[in-house]
Structure 1
Amino acid sequence: MSSKKVVLRFGADIADQPIIYKLVKDYDLVINILKANVNPQKEGTLVMDITGVNTEQGIEYLRRLGVRVQSLTEEIIQNEEKCVSCGACTDICPTGALYMERPDMVVRFNSDRCVVCHLCVKACPMKAMEVRF
């Protein structure tokens, strides 16, 4: 079964259509929405993980609708040698991918939850959060 992280960008003209429902129902895909910003009057953005045997057909359906589909090719990594577990990144992480492990009070990073928003990269005073292409 194929899994792919993608960023979807679409205009206000289709922001009110049930595109995720169609991906699940018509293409038998499992959708995990990692981040969403959808406003009926503006462009919408979704970051999601698509899993299923019909992933490519589902992506082609989105493109036919006029959705811009972009593979999420960047990833965030934690350089554990630089990290001092100050926790600055944990407060700003919108998905909880970065969290403070108790009782040791050590910053841990779950890359599966990361939506590559870059907020942690900007927040880290030690530059321990890095972007890999």
Structure 2
Amino acid sequence: MSPKKIILRFDKDISDKPIIYRLAKDYDLVINIIKANVNPNKEGTMVLELTGEKYDQGLEFLKNQGVRVQPLAEEVFRNEEKCTSCGACTGICPSGALYIERPSMEVKFDSDNCIVCQICVKVCPVKAMEVRF
């Protein structure tokens, strides 16, 4: 079974509960936390990759805990015809999905590492980074 990327959104009343631990222990899910953010009010979001036979039961557990779950339904891709390999995107990419390959100095994009933060879309001067829904 291939990993599925999802977004979790939770309020302060559940931010201190061990929900990720429960997914691993009770539902035998393999979890890769791609991105996590908890603001000062203890509200948060997480982007996860989940794999396992009890995937649906794990999602049901999250929903019962009050976690809002949505699939990561959009993806960022690089339009290679537009890209000039200027490198503006590589310095701001938090996951390292965009990087400069040496010695050619060509910008490369590893979509498997992309967390769809869309920062690259905003900074690309030639609009080579695009979002698909």
Distance 1:47-1:37 versus aligned 2 partners, 3 A rule? same
Alpha-carbon displacement from aligned partner over 1:30-50 (angstroms, at most 9, x marks no partner): 111111002473311000111
The normalised TM-score by structure 1 is 0.96
The normalised TM-score by structure 2 is 0.96
Which residues of structure 2 form unaligned runs of 5+?
none
The residue aligned with 1:92 is 92
Aligned length in residues: 133
Q: Distance in 2 between matches of 1:90 and 1:40?
A: 29
The residue aligned with 1:124 is 124
Which residues of structure 1 form unaligned runs of 5+?
none
The residue aligned with 2:114 is 114
Residue 57 of structure 1 and its aligned partner are, at CA, apart by 0.7
State the identity as a percent: 68
Q: Return the letter of the residue paired with 2:24.
A: V
CA RMSD of aligned residues (A): 1.1
Secondary structure in structure 2 of the residue aligned to 1:112: helix
Distance 1:88-1:116 versus aligned 2 partners, 3 A rule? same
TM superposition outliers: structure 1 runs of 4+ over 6 Å: none
Alpha-carbon displacement from aligned partner over 1:62-83 (angstroms, at most 9, x marks no partner): 0000000010000001001110
Are 1:12 and 2:12 an aligned pair? yes
More helix by share: 1
